[in-house]
Structure 1
Amino acid sequence: MNEQIQLIAARIKELREIAGISAESFANELNIEKDLLLNYENGNTDISVGFLLKVAHRFNLELSALLKGDQPKLHVYSVARKGKGLIVDRRKQYKYESLASNFIQKKAEPFIVTVEPDASNAPLESNSHAGQEFNYVLEGTLMIVVDGHEITLNEGDSIYFDSGYKHAMKALNNQKARFLAVIV
């Protein structure tokens, strides 16, 4: 796994241990298997944004504190220049660019997400997390599956959904897809 995932994994484990929570209790609280939690904490498995949001919420942290290791400090405004947001490169086909990582006490988490095409036809990895999500396609064609419903979105299309339901995305037509994701 890459160095960034190792650092994030170590932060999650450290937070749990400082709080005196057993791996089993923490896994139950986050509604995941203990083995998956341990794989996350050891950096052996790609860590979903949904899981990171659950951990951040549990410990009353900003998501960027888990990603960067320090708390955001801006409270009036935060600017992300094109291509200069905090890059979260955790999963093979997905690259997340956080657009407000330095803003404190955000009400929403905005990202530019790039999904690379996957010719393997492997099953989609579903994710779920508390809240709601808005996705607006900037480039390419994206298939999104929400609670078993497949929806195809083209450039300029958008979707808003309850992110507590299992959801997954896939770039179509053998081309990457980019979209604005806002997690509330």
Structure 2
Amino acid sequence: MSDFTNVGKRIRTVRESRKISVADLAERAGLHPDLVAALEQNQLPPSLAPLIKIARVLGVRLGTFLDDVDSLGPVITRADAQVPAVRFAGRTGAVSSDLDFYSLAHNKAGRHMEPFIIDIHGSSSEDVHTSSHEGEEFIYVLTGAVEVFYGKETYVLHEGDSIYLDSIVEHHVHSTAGEARILAVVYTPY
């Protein structure tokens, strides 16, 4: 199980290579500079939406922050493979992680889609802040049940249910009770 410490280091490395200050990055991404600094310093587990916004501003794909090696051919992830997890916060500014993201294409070069298995740990609708980013998402519930806030609507999905949504609309996904596991495919244009 991996933590989120490499994510902050990778953000900082790319930002510095582009000669962009934390303040400039934050302004261009529409984020608070303290949030960007906290992510870079690994003080907070990252949330997906801010990472997508940061990647967009820096001109890199989301996977740049999540993995090390790129393969030009197909990437196969076997059922019994030990895929490292990246821990994310399901709530903006959370001090602990409630989502474990397992990338199913962590070595694929130049990808526009990010397929993940995501374990959701006992999150709830309390203190949830919706977020938005460019792109689209497809979510399929493998186990448990999740609640999806999407715009002004709320959808409850159970095992076998799915939702395809435009990520530009404010949204949030969390479990309804206890643990849940989902397959999510996030498309982000760059």
| TMscore range, shorter length | 0.7 to 0.9
Stretches of structure 1 that go unaligned for 5 or more consecutive residues are none
The answer to whether the Cα contact below 8 Å between 2:26 and 2:32 also exists between their aligned partners in 1 is: yes
Q: How does 1:11-160 map to 2 (within 5 A)?
A: 11-68=10-67, 70-73=68-71, 75-82=72-79, 84-91=82-89, 92-118=97-123, 122-160=126-164
Stretches of structure 2 that go unaligned for 5 or more consecutive residues are 90-96
State the distance in 2 between where 1:132 and 1:148 align: 18
Give, in angstroms, the shift of residue 57 of structure 1: 3.3
Q: What letter matches 2:102 in structure 1? A: E
State the distance in 2 between where 1:22 and 1:125 align: 26
State the distance in 1 between where 2:86 and 2:51 align: 11
The answer to whether the Cα contact below 8 Å between 2:28 and 2:57 also exists between their aligned partners in 1 is: no
State the distance in 2 between where 1:90 and 1:118 align: 12
Can you list the C-alpha shifts for 1:88-123, whole angstroms capped at 9, x where unaligned? 12332111110011111113111011111237x631
Q: TM-score with structure 2 length normalisation?
A: 0.84
Q: What letter matches 1:28 in structure 2? A: E
1:183 corresponds to which of 179, 183, 186? 186
Q: How many residues align?
A: 179
SS at match of 1:104: coil
- In structure 2, the residue matched to 1:170 is 174
Q: What letter matches 1:85 in structure 2? A: V
Q: TM-score with structure 1 length normalisation?
A: 0.86
Give, in angstroms, the shift of residue 3 of structure 1: 7.5
